[in-house]
Structures are given as C-alpha cells and as structure tokens.
A and B are shown apart, each in its own frame.
Chain A
C-alpha cells in the first residue's frame, strides 16, 4: 500500500479529484504519523484529530458534489481542497490555542479566525494542528519555545532552525505536505534551509496579517512551507491578497499562474534560458561553512550551465544588516508586546494586589529570556536620549540597504541567488548562551526583510549529511517568477541522488526509546558548555 504522506499536495489534489483517495484517508494517514512521531520531534503543540477529520469529511463532500456537477465545478475547487496543513502557533484559529510559543499566552483561546485561516477554510484545506516556534517568533532554533525545543528530522540532536522550526519539521517529516510560517528576519527561510525543504517569505503586504500574533510590524510576513515549489505556490495562492482588516495588506492581484507552474522537468528548466541572476559577493564571507558555500555555488553553476546568465554583484551595506535589524526589530517588538499586561487576556499575576508589582511580575514571569532581552534592547533603543543614535540611525541605514537591492533590479537582474544560512543545522544548545552567535544565523536573510522583498529557500543538496538551502531573492511582487526559477532548478536537478533522500533520522522518531528534545536537553544540562557552536 502506498504511503499517502509521501505525496506532494499537488499530487494529493489530483488523486482527490480523480476519486482515487479521500481527504479522510489523507488526513488519517498524516494524523497517525504526527501522533506517533511527535514525542521524538516536539514539532506540534496541538494536533486537532477530531476537528481535522470533520474538515476532511466536509472537503470530501465538496469534492463529491463538484464531481457530480461536472468538470467545470471540479476545476473551480482550490487545489488545496482536502489537503492537510499545519499552522504555526501564532495563527488564530477560532476556538483553538495561539500560544506563540509563550507561557504568557498559555490557555488563551482565539475568539476569531485569522484571515489566513479563513482563506484556508474557504479553499477547503484541513487544519491538522499548530506547530512549535520560538517564543513570539524571536529566535533561529525553536529552542526559545516555552514548550521545549523541536528536533531536526535529519539529526535529532540538532535544531530545525527557527522561528518557524515546527512548521518546517512537520513538512520535512511528512506529517503535513504544507504548512504556514512567519518570517521577520528569516524565520521561514532559515528553518526551510536547515530541514531541506522549500519556504517562501512573500513581499511585505502580500499576505494579510489580521489574526496573527505580531512581532515587528514593519518586517513580519506570513508565508508557505512545502516540499516543492509547486506546493509552495498553491499555498501562497490560497492565502494571498488584499484584506480590509489589515491596512498594510496591498491591493495587488494574486497571480493565477501560481496554480500552473510547469509539471514537466524539461519545460520547467527552459525558464532558465537568458535569465540574469545576481550573485552578491558579500553573502559568502564571515565564517560561512565551506560545504554550505560550495553547494550554493554549485547550484548557481548548474543554472548557468542550463542557460542562465550569472554575474557577481555587490550589496555593499550587507555588513550593516545585522546591527540595523537588531535595533529595528527589538524596537518594534518592545512596542507590540506592551499589550501583554495581564488585563484583557493571557497570564496575569494579581497576587500582591498592587498595580505596578503585579504588572512587573506578570511580564517578568510570563515572558522567556530571549523575549525579555529583545524588549530590553528595544526599550533602550527608543528611550529618551538614545532614539537618534539607535532607532533613527538604523532606519537611515535601512534606506541604504534597500537601495543596494533597488540597484540590482534597476540593472535588469531577474533574481539574486545567495546562501540562506551560513551553516547547516547546528546542535541543540550550541548557541543558547551566546545571543550574538544565534543572531548571526539570520545574517543572510534579514536584509531581505528590511527591504520588504520576497525571498525563498530551496534545497540545494547536503553538506556532511545535512541540508543546505539556496536563497532566491526577487523584486517586489515577483513571487511567481521566483517560483518558476525554483521550479526550473528542481527540473535540472530532478535526477540528483540527494533528491531521493528522506531525513536521515526520521526512522528513529518511530522508536519509543528515542529521547524527546526536552529529555535530551535535560540530559546535557549538567554537561559543560560547548562554546558557541558553528560560529557564523
């Protein structure tokens, strides 16, 4: 019997329409593996067995009705009808939890659907559950979750990346074909890279953020994670578009072409003919792992051999990205997280009955260490006497960083190709004692957020047995072109041996004696610190 979890969503969609499989069977298959393997991965914070089966039955009814009504009705169904999807646990699903990986939101029940949730329901997708994440999306390893770290299916002693580490791990582990993440400085692309899958951060404004827990509002974007470019395109299509309830969502049309990326590998590869790709030299320095750099250069060389024109370019302000980001993002977070005051919702300590004391304790106990660190940084950067030196300065440097990218588009390039992460997945615990080392994990992704551009990570092979991601950055609103490029790369590497590999330690997650990530952390807690790990 075929394992249904190994299909891509676009294949499941075809089988559903042909009546060869039901959404209930697909959903049962994914629930079974998610429930069995989650102990060893800790990638799901909630699995909605009953709710997802109800949604699956509804999808089956919709498909059956459409089949009776004829081919036009069947074609009018969204390809995600009946397809299981995982949601990062900061997406509101009415009646469900939305912890954002934080203790301060433990027990919170969302009173409404996010727009992304509503659009997925409209498409007929099946919401399997909520995935683990760094608290309030602040982190690059998912270790900053109040609910324990997530393990990487390629090596259970390593991180899946973050902050959307749960969403990446469930897709890599075949618990769901697609999932939703959010990306403020790399939180979709970096975990996609570290887990060997595809993740796309859309142009700022492409996807409505109504009903999503906010981190840094000038940077946050929601986006799709999947195991190939076509599935990413389907999910992007389902959730994109202007929403009256999010004033920052842009009135840009959603490209219909997202539903028809080429199926044939040769047809897909032909897109590379004459494409101009920019390779920024600044992205290959500062302690980048040689194996990761080699895979990225090989991927670009393969696209060149298939007809693309590759030129080295300079993005001269890249070096300033980290400092700029770590002023702007904490500043915005310190403002956004002021809402957690223990009055309207969330954890509240009212033990003293004295206003300020309770307020301090509610936030001091409710937030974890990384969130407190960022609130402190942001509050300091915005405080009297420091605003000009830090926040205003950073916003000016942001202008320069954006101008670097603008010059590339003005020169006529179709896309920028770069590494997604300077390293492969690093060991659990390796960077927890050194915040700056952790921040450097996102050095290659965060300039893209500051410029508001779309960026994606696609698998480009392995280094020492662990996945390496190729980052593709496009001009504003060019997601369809980027996905055609990603699909072309899939076409030219369709027969590469690494394409057939499943995550190396996935089989261990079926073994009940395999320790959970929390147990691993407790076992090593007494051990001496191992330094900062693969310094980026």
Chain B
C-alpha cells in the first residue's frame, strides 16, 4: 500500500509551487495515498517489452514555411498582466538579497 508521508506531501507541494494550508495537507495525505493505492493494479502487468505510447495518431512533424505572420500587439499581450512597466511584464525579483537582480 502507498505510504506517502506528511513530509512527502509537503515536498511535492513545494515542487508544484502550491501553497497549502495545514488542513489541505492533512486531507491530501489521506486522499493521495488512497488514489496511489488504485495505481497498484498496474504492477500486476508485465510491461517490460511493451513500448510506451505518448501520442495516438501517426502524425509526423509537419513543417511550414518560415514566414512572418501577424501576432498579438504588445498592448494586447500585456493587457492581462497583473503588473506592467512600459512594454514589459513586471516579474518578482528571483535573485533575492539586497539589490537583487
């Protein structure tokens, strides 16, 4: 049976960049283990020599001519931004510390 611990749940939440409350973490620990238990059925299948399927239609790469086509104007592309500065999205500083990036 699955044995995802509370610490595992917190680790995965951090990887997924999900800020979860204490209550959510507790509920997810139970629910995720229950769901992972359903996956156990797959271990009964021998798939050693079975190739994986990533897509189902036999479509090879389709190329187009490399020509310039109209795209969104800058103002349209920025219209939904939580914060903009001139023609740019404002992003939070990611290189913390004094003076940052």
Chain A residues at the B interface, C-beta cutoff of 8 Å: 108-109, 111-112, 203-205, 218, 244, 247-248, 250-251, 317, 319-320, 322-324, 326-327, 334, 338, 341-346, 348, 350, 353-361, 363-365, 367, 369, 372-373, 375-377, 379-380, 383, 390, 392-400, 402, 435-436, 439, 450-453, 476
A341: chain B residues within 8 A (beta carbon): 17
Tell me the complex Cα distance, A452–B54, Å: 11
Tell me the complex Cα distance, A451–B9, Å: 32
Q: How large is the interface on B (under 10, 10 to 19, 20 to 34, 35 or more residues)?
A: 35 or more
Tell me the complex Cα distance, A338–B17, Å: 9
Tell me the complex Cα distance, A203–B82, Å: 37
A326 near B35 with CB under 8 A, answer: yes
B80 near A390 with CB under 8 A, answer: no
A348 near B32 with CB under 8 A, answer: no
Chain B residues at the A interface, C-beta cutoff of 8 Å: 4, 8-9, 12-21, 24, 28, 31-32, 34-36, 38-42, 45, 47, 50-57, 59, 62, 64, 72, 76-77, 79-83, 89, 91-94, 96
A359: chain B residues within 8 A (beta carbon): 17, 92
- Given A344-B81, A383-B12, A360 contacting B38 (CB threshold 8 A): no
* A335 CB, min distance to chain B CBs, angstroms: 10
Specify the main secondary structure of chain A where it touches its partner.
Answer: helix
B94 near A377 with CB under 8 A, answer: no
* B9 CB, min distance to chain A CBs, angstroms: 7
* B51 CB, min distance to chain A CBs, angstroms: 6
- Given A323-B38, A394-B42, A111 contacting B52 (CB threshold 8 A): no
B80 near A108 with CB under 8 A, answer: yes
A247 near B57 with CB under 8 A, answer: no
A396 near B59 with CB under 8 A, answer: no
Identify 19 residue pairs between A and B in the complex whose beta-carbon atoms are under 8 Å apart, listed by A's number: A111-B79, A204-B56, A218-B54, A250-B59, A320-B45, A338-B17, A354-B96, A356-B17, A363-B16, A365-B19, A369-B24, A372-B18, A376-B12, A380-B36, A383-B12, A399-B50, A399-B52, A435-B35, A452-B55
A399 near B51 with CB under 8 A, answer: yes
Tell me the complex Cα distance, A120–B35, Å: 40
Closest to B92 in A: A355
B39 near A375 with CB under 8 A, answer: no
- Given A326-B39, A364-B18, A436-B38, A355 contacting B51 (CB threshold 8 A): no
- Given A109-B80, A111-B80, A326-B38, A373 contacting B31 (CB threshold 8 A): yes
